[in-house]
Amino acid sequence: MANTSKNMEEMTPDRLKADPKLLIHDQIQGQPTAYTAFNAAVFEDGRFFVTTPYRDLIPREPVMIVSGMRMRLDYRFGLDDYIQWPQAWSRPLCHLACIMKKPPPGDEWSVMWRRPSRDSFVEDRSGYASGLGLLEASFFREMQVVVSKLLTRTKIFCLSHRNESEVTLARKYSRHLSERLTRVESVSCSIQQVCMLVTSIQRSALELHALLAYCTIFKPKMESDPLPGVPPASVVGAFVWKHDDAALLFRAGIPFWFIHPCRDAGGVHVQGISQLANRDNVCLAECDYPVEVIFNGLPNVELQYAAVMGFLDSAFQTFPPFLPTSFNAIDVSAAGSRFIHGSSHAPKVPSHKSNALYSKQKPNVNNQSRHVGSYIGNPLIPQFSTSWSKSYNTLPESRAPSTKPQGFAYPDPMLLVAVQTQAKRNAYCVNWMRFKNLLLFRVTRPGPTMFSNSIWRQLLSGDFVSDHAETGQLPTMASRRKSEVRTLLANCLTERGVDLDLTRLPDSVQWRGSTFDNGYVFSDRLIQSIFAELSILNFRCELTAVDKHLTPRHLRSVQHEDDLAYCCYAADSGDPLVVDLESRKRGFAANNVADRMSSVTALRGLMSDWTGTGDRVYCLQQFNVKELRSDQDRLVYEEKVVNCYVVTAFECLGRYPVTPVCLSSVN
């Protein structure tokens, strides 16, 4: 029997909680609308009830207060995660309601719901460091296939779609996917980092797929009449509070649940009462290591979205040693021991003062003087543009600021040229290959520092075992350097489960698919390859550090990030820790000056946002790249742009910046 209006007016939370069937007071006539309530369920002790206009859609309970939003055991965020549980409809992020539901196991997209675990982590057991490894190959390939198809779709979408903000978001997702896929394939990480990278790839893929679906399928439907009798799409859906939002989602065929306060009971035509959907399929188990709470308070999809993005970005983040860093996103001190395994003391963690871009150090004249222009014709130096050597030669050493640091993020590639003996050069090559993974890993954790060439030489020589000094004997310069190298390696271990044993250095090393023994004699071509790898890693790190230091926050636009990416990778995206030695037809070191123009122009655009470079950059604006008809004109333009960067970086770093190089083709 239907309830009367009088009964509804007297409705209270206690009455509604005691008898939810009091909501049933009318029979639905005609075709359902956005405001039809085929199913309803009461929650929050009768203070609210939720309805849906779809007969077969089970009511779900919304999260009314977000309490301790944090990553769970499955590397997602429980009921506060828009990937796996409906959240409030947000017009700025309307595509989140269009995220597909988990498909059956045979579907290729099912890999985007696979939980990363220790079983999907392949540890590298060939060296002295344990706890570093890569994602299991078959898991990676399955994700790669899906992502590759999705990125192809996205390129077509971006070329034809007219909504600039939606295209910008699609490009952002594409970049994230490309970068993270490269990282998880190529860079040895801890199991925690690998699992977070996998989850980040899965999330970005699902969100990008949802964005394309929203723009091409659901958004057009919002402007047309709903088709009667059509079930809702198999997507996550959303909760709504407003009739206008309900109407939009109903026309689009997106599942939704309307939240009503108890007082609205008399105005909602409910046909039936249902149980709330089971939440057991959502993982609420705690993560197996301490994680921070990223959000608390009233639900706010935009803030929760930003919190999730920032948290997962930390797994991909790199920390330029030139800049002060902070322990954001992941609580490293709580995440595990920062001690060398078996040691009774913690490694020295540099303070922000010693890590600052403008910290006080005595300038090193040798570091300032040595650059590729000083070794023109040396067979060990790969191909580079002469615009760089010309720029170095225009800078007097006396101009170097005396209060700037002189260290390098990675070993200075010029060490390979300056070393006096072939035997020591071979040792440098082997030890770079040996310690490369660990040195890359250290910049994925907060707090790395730069080191002087004397420390890098000590590391590359392999001579850093502790000397047993006699009692009362003062430490020598050599013993202090050895100690600093051991501290350098110890500071790499700020991740739970990563340990180091310097007593079992392997007799052979792996590098780019090949094996090299300790006594291997390296050819000039191989030395060039190592030189190129070190140059590119250093160049990216220095450019990123200078850019971060000089670019005001409000000027970090999408175009600025695009310019930075093209300067670093000669492409729309890349990974700062992955070097493609086969790329020689584009970038700053391409053989043809015309092929260098895109990177040079991107650098000009980047520097136009830097503070303190106004006069230098202003003179570059007179050049219209499209009107540069001859190679000579292009070379003049390149020299001016490169000189502007070299001078600026020289003033920031206190030494010549590292030159970007590339391997020339083999005849």
DSSP assignment of 5-43? HHHHHT--HHHHHH-GGGGB-----SS--TT-EEEEEEE
Cα(461)–Cα(430) distance, rounded to whole angstroms? 9
Give the confidence band of 326 by pLDDT, cuts at 50, 70, 90.
very low
Residue that wins the pLDDT comparison between 30 and 511: 511
pLDDT at 495: 64
Q: Provide the pairing of β-strand 132-135 with 499-500.
A: unpaired
The one-letter amino acid at 646: V
Largest distance between two CA atoms of the chain:
99
DSSP type of residue 218: I
Which range is least confidently modeled, 358-367, 391-400, 534-543?
A: 358-367
Q: What is the mean pLDDT of residues 619-636?
A: 87
* pLDDT tens digits for range 125-151: 777 778 889 999 999 999 999 999 999
Residue 340 has pLDDT above 70, yes or no: no
pLDDT at 80: 97
Asked if residue 257 lies in contact with residue 62, where contact means CB atoms within 8 angstroms, the answer is: yes
Q: What is the mean pLDDT of residues 642-651?
A: 92
3-class DSSP assignment, residue 314: coil
Q: What is the mean pLDDT of residues 87-103?
A: 96
Partners of 328 in the β-ladder: none
Q: What is the mean pLDDT of residues 539-562?
A: 92
User: 652 — phi, psi (to 5°)?
Assistant: -80, -40
Cα(519)–Cα(462) distance, rounded to whole angstroms? 13
* pLDDT tens digits for range 35-87: 888 899 999 999 999 999 998 899 999 999 999 999 999 999 999 999 999 99
Long-range pairs for 612-620: beta carbons < 8 A, 24 or more residues apart: 612/550, 612/648, 613/550, 613/644, 613/648, 616/644, 616/647, 616/648, 617/644, 620/644
SS (H, E, C) 163-185: CHHHHHHHHHHHHHHHHHHHHHH
Asked if residue 380 lies in contact with residue 417, where contact means CB atoms within 8 angstroms, the answer is: yes
Residue that wins the pLDDT comparison between 371 and 282: 282
pLDDT at 610: 93
Q: What is the mean pLDDT of residues 402-406?
A: 57
Give the confidence band of 352 by pLDDT, cuts at 50, 70, 90.
very low
Give the confidence band of 323 by pLDDT, cuts at 50, 70, 90.
low
* pLDDT tens digits for range 459-489: 898 877 655 544 455 567 777 777 777 777 7
pLDDT at 335: 29
Cα(219)–Cα(352) distance, rounded to whole angstroms? 49
pLDDT at 353: 37
Which range is least confidently modeled, 136-150, 293-307, 363-377, 466-480?
A: 466-480
Q: Provide the pairing of β-strand 121-123 with 508-511.
A: unpaired
Cα(63)–Cα(86) distance, rounded to whole angstroms? 9
pLDDT at 491: 66
Cα(264)–Cα(37) distance, rounded to whole angstroms? 13
Q: What is the mean pLDDT of residues 83-105?
A: 95
DSSP type of residue 510: E
**What six digits make up the tokens of 637?**
């333009």
pTM: 0.83
Please report, for residues 92, 109, 110, 223, 242, the alpha-carbon distance to residue 97 in angstroms, rounded to integers and kept in the order given.
11, 18, 19, 17, 16
pLDDT at 320: 79
pLDDT at 300: 96
Please report, for residues 179, 452, 643, 652, the alpha-carbon distance to residue 392 in angstroms, rounded to integers and kept in the order given.
32, 20, 8, 15
Q: Which helix (H) or strand (E) holds 561?
A: helix 558-569
* pLDDT tens digits for range 160-205: 999 999 999 999 999 999 999 999 999 999 899 999 999 999 999 9
- Kindly give, in sequence order, each residue whose CB lies less than 8 Å from that of residue 550, ignoring residues fewer than 6 positions away: 610, 611, 612, 613, 648, 652
3-class DSSP assignment, residue 256: strand
Question: What is the pLDDT of the chain when averaged over all its residues?
Answer: 84
Neighbours of 52 (CB within 10 A): 25
DSSP assignment of 588-634? TT-SSHHHHHHHHHHHHHHHTTSTT-HHHHHGGGG--GGG--SHHHH
Give the confidence band of 357 by pLDDT, cuts at 50, 70, 90.
very low
Give the confidence band of 547 by pLDDT, cuts at 50, 70, 90.
very high
Q: CA quadruple 285, 289, 290, 293: dihedral positive or negative?
A: negative
Partners of 515 in the β-ladder: 510
Q: What is the mean pLDDT of residues 608-636?
A: 85
Q: Provide the pairing of β-strand 256-261 with 48-52.
A: antiparallel
> Domain map of the chain by residue range?
5-313, 332-468+476-500+507-653
pLDDT at 465: 65
Closest to 542 measured CA to CA, from 550, 530, 553: 550
pLDDT at 653: 86
